[in-house]
Amino acid sequence: MRRLSVKRSRSALHKSMRGGDCDASVYWLARMLEGGEDPRYIARRLIRFASEDVGLAEPFALVQAVATAQACQLIGMPECSVNLAQCVVYLARAPKSVAVYNAYKSAHKCVMSCLNEPVPLHICNAPTQLMKDIGYAQNYQYNPELGYVRGCDKGYLPDSIKEKRFFHEDDIESGWKLQFGGKPSDLDGGVSDDCSQEK
């Protein structure tokens, strides 16, 4: 019965962090630890949460979670309980995004339904003359030489799904989106939409 309670606490912790409730998150963490849950297991779940539920809304959440896992490995219980609590509160307070999680789920579903789609020839390497003769790497545009221009190549997806979009930026809660979002030209590094730009 005690083990069942610990398993239910796992779900409660995840949902509390997802909902941004710091108090409930710390409470369920304490329940898990006092119920005998391995702190390293909790840390692994926090690493997953950092990418699945926080993601690009706060990229440093993953750094925090990985550091917490290292702390658990290095000092163990009971000292690492405070490291876990710090991470749990951090993740609960962080802005949330499932954009990457949903993008991968969508891409995985697509791959499983069309496993054998060929790689477009223009993005295949051509180490031999024969491969060049049959079209490998033909007309590939090397972005660094164009100032990292987007949308000037033939595309990178197989032809049958070339219009497919997996990543949707609207799934990112306000936070890091202020830097990540917007037009490509607004990003750090001077990425441009202008296909006529040359370096």
The residues, any chain, with a CB within 8 Å of residue 110's CB and separated by 6 or more, are 161, 164, 166
Residue 195: pLDDT over 80: no
Cα-to-chain-centroid distance, residue 16: 20
Q: Give the position of tokens 């990540």.
A: 180
Mean pLDDT across the stretch 129-156?
82
Report CA-CA distances (Å) from 124 to 70, 119, 157, 164: 39, 7, 12, 20
Mean pLDDT across the stretch 125-139?
89
Percent of residues, the chain, with pLDDT higher than 70: 81
pTM of the model: 0.79
What is the structure's pLDDT at 193? Answer: 42
Give the pLDDT band of residue 171 (cuts 50, 70, 90): low
Cα-to-chain-centroid distance, residue 156: 20
pLDDT tens sequence across 30-89: 999 999 999 999 999 999 999 999 999 999 999 999 999 999 999 999 999 999 999 999
